[in-house]
């Protein structure tokens, strides 16, 4: 995760150094996309967090 942050900031800085600073709406869109993209590699982790604990014995529903 920290490496993604470093690469994202460095990549955006490199892009802006070559092209100049884009309009604020485009810059906002870039940061929103980068803010969402990091979730996809961690999707399995997030899916596992919502599951019941497999080590706990099932309780009697009555």
Q: Does 24 reside within a domain?
A: yes
CB 24 within 8 A of CB 32: no
Q: Does 53 reside within a domain?
A: no
Q: Does 55 reside within a domain?
A: no
- Local structure of 35: helix, strand or coil: helix
- Local structure of 9: helix, strand or coil: helix
Q: Does 32 reside within a domain?
A: yes
pLDDT of residue 62: 60
Per the structure, the count of domains in the chain is 1
Q: Does 51 reside within a domain?
A: no
pLDDT of residue 61: 63
Domain residues for the domain of 19 are: 2-39
Q: Does 35 reside within a domain?
A: yes
CB 48 within 8 A of CB 42: no
Q: Does 31 reside within a domain?
A: yes
CA pair distance 59, 30, nearest whole angstrom: 48
- pLDDT band of residue 32 (cuts 50, 70, 90) is very high
Q: Does 9 reside within a domain?
A: yes
Of 12-16, 25-29, 38-42, 54-58, minimum mean pLDDT range: 54-58
- Across the range 15-28, mean pLDDT stands at 88
CA pair distance 36, 38, nearest whole angstrom: 6
pLDDT of residue 39: 84
- Across the range 34-51, mean pLDDT stands at 79
């Amino acid at each position: 995760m920290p490496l993604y942050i470093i690469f994202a900031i460095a990549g955006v800085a490199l892009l802006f150094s070559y092209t100049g600073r884009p309009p604020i709406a485009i810059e906002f869109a870039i940061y929103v996309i980068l803010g969402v993209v990091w979730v996809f590699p961690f999707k399995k982790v997030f899916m596992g967090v919502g599951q019941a604990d497999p080590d706990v014995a099932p309780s009697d529903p009555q």
